[in-house]
Structure 1
Amino acid sequence: MSTAASSVQRPRGRNETEEERADRMWGELIQEVRVAQMGVQILFGFLLTVVFTPTFSDLSDMDRRLYIVTVVIGAAATGALIGPVSLHRLVSGRRVKPQAVTWASRLTLVGLLLLLATMICALLLILRVATHDPYVPYIVAGVVIWYVLCWFVLPIWTRRRYTSQ
């Protein structure tokens, strides 16, 4: 490739109006939320059944408290990840889609953070009950690091590395 051809700047991004961009971003966001919603709803459903098992009464006070915290955080995560659907339904047709996308994105990020906290607590509870191993906090810390790398560090690095935003 010649130096003249390599120095030509190609336009980046899409040539779309604010409304077209909001429509596209809304569709992408809803697809992303569907994946997270499925995970949090399955986890939350599982957590709700634990209290009805015969061995629940055998849990230590600490494990019961951890269970309660896990269920409450899971409920909050479920609310945050379902929130964009309610937001869209209540503002649909009001010509505020760009603002709705912004708020739905924020709710989704909060939901992901709460889902991370739910996963941490659930993993800690399960490993404490299953193994009684003193290394459980270290195992959980390793998994937390993995989640943070996959869910936040890699996306933020990619954003900074490949965009000017």
Structure 2
Amino acid sequence: MADATRDPEGGRGRQETAEERADRRWSDLLQELRVAQTGVQILFGFLLTVVFQARFPQLSAADRNIYVVTVILGAATTGALIGPVSMHRLLTGKRLKPETVVWASRLTVLGLVLLLCTMASSLLLILRIAVHDTFAVWVVIGMVLWFALCWFALPIWARRARPSRR
């Protein structure tokens, strides 16, 4: 039987129960969500105003389609990153904190993937208007690779490169 004071990997990490660990992880997740939600809300708010700009009717059909996809991605991102708050509120007091943290964490990762797609789509729309289409595509590809490196590849590498505690 596993000792409640040992970390899940079997090492001698923090001396905390499963409930204490869930509380700490929830607090950490909330701090992360605050950062991500602020950026998403600003980006999504900006996207919602674009359609009301005088030049919007002059956009090509392709640019309008990119805009629609971008707004939908922004809405989906907002939903995924606000979802953990709703989940917590609806499950508070039901003795499901560890499960809530796991699902909220998954929603947050989904939100980050959707944010990556929203950023790529936004950049594509803006850069297609500002510079040559071919250049815009290459810049967006470069930025997607940069975001993927910073947001996903480095954390995965760090997790795998960490020496075992066993």
Give a deviation string over 1:105-161, Cα, whole Å, max 9, x none. 000000000000000000000000111342111111111111000000000000111
Partner residue, 2:5: none
In the alignment, structure 1 segments of 5+ residues that lack a partner are: 1-10
- Take 1:138 and 1:146, find their aligned partners in 2: how far apart are those partners? 12
Letter in 1 for 2:99: Q
Consecutive aligned runs of 4 or more in structure 1 exceeding 3 Å deviation: none
Partner residue, 2:105: 105
Quote the sequence identity (%): 64
- Take 1:164 and 1:36, find their aligned partners in 2: how far apart are those partners? 30
**Pairing of 1:144-155 with structure 2 (within 5 A):** 144-155=144-155
Structure 1 residue 163: Cα displacement: 5.3
Say yes or no: does 1:126 pair with 2:126: yes
Letter in 1 for 2:32: E
- Take 1:163 and 1:52, find their aligned partners in 2: how far apart are those partners? 54
Inter-CA distance 77–164: structure 2 relative to 1 (3 Å threshold): farther
- Take 1:44 and 1:130, find their aligned partners in 2: how far apart are those partners? 20
Structure 1 residue 164: Cα displacement: 4.1
- Take 2:69 and 2:42, find their aligned partners in 1: how far apart are those partners? 17
Give RMSD over aligned pairs.
1.2
Say yes or no: does 1:71 pair with 2:79: no
Say yes or no: does 1:36 pair with 2:36: yes
What is the DSSP-based 3-state SS (H/G/I as helix, E as strand, rest coil) of the residue aligned with 2:16? coil
Question: Number of paired residues?
Answer: 155
Q: Which has the larger radius of gyration?
A: 1
Partner residue, 1:18: 18
Inter-CA distance 117–107: structure 2 relative to 1 (3 Å threshold): same
Structure 1 residue 12: Cα displacement: 3.6
- Take 2:38 and 2:54, find their aligned partners in 1: how far apart are those partners? 27
What is the DSSP-based 3-state SS (H/G/I as helix, E as strand, rest coil) of the residue aligned with 1:134? helix
**Pairing of 1:46-61 with structure 2 (within 5 A):** 46-61=46-61
In the alignment, structure 2 segments of 5+ residues that lack a partner are: 1-10
What is the DSSP-based 3-state SS (H/G/I as helix, E as strand, rest coil) of the residue aligned with 1:16? coil
What is the DSSP-based 3-state SS (H/G/I as helix, E as strand, rest coil) of the residue aligned with 2:55? helix
